C-alpha cells in the first residue's frame, strides 16, 4: 500500500455487484485511490440480482483488472466479497468513507436515499459521490452483458481480462 501524507489511514469502500467490472468501475476506482489511503472494492454477493458470474469469479476479475492497471491503483486497493449490510461491512473494515459512482441524474435519487439511510445507520461513515467521466457515463454492467449476448462489441467498455471471460461465459451458456 502506498502511504499518502497523513498520519491516520483513510479507508474507503467502493461497493457494487461488479457483474462484470467495467471501464466505468475502473475509472471510479482510479479516482477513489486519490482520496483514500486504502480502497476496498466490496463485491456484493447479491444473489437476488441473478449475477452472470459468481462472487468468487467477480472478485477474481476485479483483482486481475487491478493488477493490469498497476501503480497506486493496484498498490492501495484490495478486493473483498461481502454479503452483509454495507454499513456493517464498513465498520468491520475500519472504513470511514463509502465511494459511489454517479452516471446520470437517474442514479442520484436512489443513491441520495441510500446515503441518507446509511448516515442514520452509521453516522461516522461518509458517502462520497464521484461523477462518471464523460467517456463512461452510459456504461453499465447490465448494458455490457446485453450487448455481448446479442453479439455486439464491448471491447471498449471492459478490461481485457473481463472481455475474454465474458466471451467464454457466453459460449458456455450456448452449449
Summarize the annotated binding site for substrate as residue ranges. Answer: 17, 49, 86, 100
- Is residue 5 part of the annotated active site? The answer reads no
In sequence order, what are the beta bridge partners of 81?
Answer: 43
Catalytic one among 4, 10, 80, 103?
Answer: 103
- Grid cell for residue 152: 455486439
Say which of 49, 88, 124, 135 is annotated catalytic: 49
Q: Which residues of 103-113 are buried (b: 16+ CB within 10 A; e: fewer)?
A: beeebeeeeee
Q: Give me the catalytic one of 30, 95, 141, 165.
A: 141
The residues, any chain, with a CB within 8 Å of residue 173's CB and separated by 6 or more, are none
> Is 25 a known active-site residue?
yes
CB of 69 closer than 8 Å to CB of 42: no
For residue 103, indicate whether it is catalytic.
yes
CA distances (Å), origin 144, targets 63, 82, 95, 148: 19, 23, 30, 6
Binding residues: 17-18, 25, 49, 86, 100-103, 111, 136-142
- Which of 25, 30, 38, 145 does the annotation list as catalytic? 25
Tell me whether residue 164 is one of the annotated catalytic residues.
no
Residues belonging to the binding site for ATP are 17-18, 25, 101-103, 111, 136-142
In the chain, beta strands by DSSP E: 11-16, 38-44, 77-82, 97-102, 126-131
Residues known to be catalytic: 25, 49, 103, 141
Amino acid at each position: 500500500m502506498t502511504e499518502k501524507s497523513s498520519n491516520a489511514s483513510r479507508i474507503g469502500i467502493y461497493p457494487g455487484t461488479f457483474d462484470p467490472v467495467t471501464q466505468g468501475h475502473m475509472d471510479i476506482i482510479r479516482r477513489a485511490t486519490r482520496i483514500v489511503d486504502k480502497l476496498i472494492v466490496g463485491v456484493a454477493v447479491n444473489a437476488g440480482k441473478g449475477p452472470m458470474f459468481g462472487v468468487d469469479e467477480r472478485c477474481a476479475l476485479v483483482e486481475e483488472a487491478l493488477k493490469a492497471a498497476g501503480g497506486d491503483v493496484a498498490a492501495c486497493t484490495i478486493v473483498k466479497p461481502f454479503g452483509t449490510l454495507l454499513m456493517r461491512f464498513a465498520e468491520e473494515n475500519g472504513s470511514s468513507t463509502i465511494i459511489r459512482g454517479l452516471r446520470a441524474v437517474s442514479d442520484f435519487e436512489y443513491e441520495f436515499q441510500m446515503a441518507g439511510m446509511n448516515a442514520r445507520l452509521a453516522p461516522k461513515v461518509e458517502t462520497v459521490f464521484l461523477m462518471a467521466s464523460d467517456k463512461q457515463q452510459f456504461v453499465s454492467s447490465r448494458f455490457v452483458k446485453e450487448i455481448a449476448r446479442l453479439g455486439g462489441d464491448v471491447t471498449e467498455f471492459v478490461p481485457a481480462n473481463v472481455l475474454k471471460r465474458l466471451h467464454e461465459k457466453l459460449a458456455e451458456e450456448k452449449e
